[in-house]
A and B are shown apart, each in its own frame.
Chain A
């Protein structure tokens, strides 16, 4: 059973461009979470999604950030008009319908130049 997959692993964007981060949860997992880790800081929750629904987006910046988890395909975290402060590691986690453990992917390291 493959783990949580994230791509790309590294992404470089210039200021003002868009960044699209993809997360494929583990097989059978219908719950997806996104977290952000700024350099030398702890992980911060961003958003929690189930298939086609956003359940909790209390950690998402109000502007430029959006997330989706469609019926088919991976979950996408989209950052429009990136700024240098968006440079961070973005981690996706998934879990099955029952059970508490979240399984994390290897992360996408976004660098904004």
Chain B
């Protein structure tokens, strides 16, 4: 499985944008970039995914570098409820269904 690298932790002020980086220099052409988050004492929650183009949904935006070796999850206006561990995961488009979670980034929101 291709690996991802994320900072262990980040802090952000409430109501400000948050940019969570992820490096995936060994990504293959058919790997999708997925983001999940896990709030305290809960199961993971899907956030967003993309292949090549930037993606937006109601929760966040995903900016993918042109060479696809890195990506950034953008929370446009952080709230206290966004405090969680964020996981960047590469998922093969065919055959391998499982998600391989790394250590993720623990995001702390400062009121």
Contact = CB atoms under 8 A, between A and B. Distances in A.
Interface of A: 4, 31, 33, 35, 42-45, 48, 55-56, 58-59, 91, 93, 100-107
A42 B34 contact: no
Interface stretch (B12-20, B37-45, B61-69, B70-78): B37-45
Nearest to A44: B101
B58 interface: no
A103 B46 contact: yes
A103 B99 CA distance: 12
Contacts of A107: 42-43
Nearest to B100: A45
Contacts of B34: 100
Contact of B98 (A48, A103, A104, A106): A48
A38 B39 CA distance: 16
B98 A43 contact: no
Contact of B43 (A48, A100, A106): A106
A14 B43 CA distance: 25
Contact of A43 (B44, B45, B46, B97): B44
